[in-house]
Homo-oligomer: A and B are copies of this chain.
């Protein structure tokens, strides 16, 4: 370890209590975007915190929650962008929390609170990394930093795209650290490099103005049947999506992606345990399960029609609906899929099934051979004492596309403070102090090395 890294590590350890207090202060401020609770108060608190850490702050209103922006110049003209969010998931069910979700509590080497990990603790770890690096460099930062802390991540980031497009000048950067990183069950740092896009729709059918008695099923059209047949036309048990042109443009993993996928551990047994899976999709086994992330999907997230209580009601439902999401791989476009979906239903005789778009995100992927990825991997290996796992593409979706494209193919990496059981989105969310420290150290080392890329 070089002396400068030793100073950084020491600084973070010595000031851990102060940062935990800061994290606790932030977590004590409710900010539940799903019901607009405490959003402005939390944005202002984040603004004051960014200022306290030496950033010039601006708070941008949106039609929803404000976006907090902070910037500080560094010695190098290169700028590293940080994406975080100050909103949290609703804390319910409250009775399953060991301590109240908005009363941060330290126990067993971890801080428990809603947002402790996702994403308030992670934000403070990044601010701590700034302090440590600045202290190690006698008050200067080796590179510029820009923070974007939004307040609507947990509800699909509806205002980030237009914010980025309207403020491209403020956001120029040469690399970005995304929220939500951490370590795998074996303690290896996991660096995610790409996410899938998503198209979310509601399919609904109404065949009658009101429900009828099921004794009329030989005469009256049943909405649930129309929905079932329409859904079955989208995908059969072979899991192949049947919408013509759906797979058009979908890019396979690059040779380097293939190498990374091969290097990832086999999570089959773990998933069998967590979810009690008897058979995976298409009979996939072992490492095939990792590679399958390059398959776009069509998922039924919800089905509703008619009577759903105990026993039987002999009803013929007038209305039926399904929530469906399509996860899209690089090269696919949710707008294009939406058009093809509607055309397919029409062509298959399901013109009576209406398609409502509930949300869309584009896929985004950083080339695994970008020097920024190498920096994050090397520093991760140093901090955690184990080689980093590079995940070329994750199954989920997040609005990286809003930044990466408009900012000129910005390389984006996830690096953070989470671990597999941190209970983000669930009761007893927490961050372990050691994970928090390692996460901050990792960010500090990336800041250290970023100017020289």
Contact = CB atoms under 8 A, between A and B. Distances in A.
A318 to B, nearest CB: 8
A1 interface: no
Interface in A314-336: 314-318, 320-323, 325, 327
A331 B312 CA distance: 24
Nearest to A295: B218
Contacts of A229: 232, 236-237
A258 B188 CA distance: 77
A215 B299 CA distance: 9
Nearest to A291: B218
Nearest to A298: B217
Given A224-B300, A300-B224, A312-B325, A215 B317 contact: no
Contacts of A225: 235, 299-300
A289 interface: yes
B303 A304 contact: yes
Q: Interface residues of A toward B: which range?
A: 35 or more
Interface in A227-286: 227-229, 231-232, 235-237, 271, 275-281, 284
A236 B396 CA distance: 34
Given A275-B208, A280-B221, A301 B228 contact: no
A275 B213 CA distance: 11
A307 interface: yes
A394 B293 CA distance: 53
Contacts of A396: 213, 215, 314
Q: How many copies does the complex hold?
A: 2
Nearest to A322: B224
A195 B93 CA distance: 49
A359 interface: yes
B300 A306 contact: yes
Lowest 8 CB-CB distances: which A-B pairs, in order?
A: A215-B395, A215-B396, A209-B276, A232-B232, A224-B300, A302-B306, A217-B297, A217-B299
Interface of A: 156, 196, 198, 200, 202, 207-210, 212-222, 224-225, 227-229, 231-232, 235-237, 271, 275-281, 284, 289, 292-293, 295, 297-308, 311-318, 320-323, 325, 327, 349, 352, 358-359, 394-397
19 contacts: A210-B275, A214-B301, A217-B297, A218-B297, A218-B327, A219-B284, A219-B289, A219-B395, A221-B279, A222-B300, A228-B232, A229-B236, A275-B318, A278-B352, A299-B316, A301-B315, A303-B305, A307-B323, A314-B325
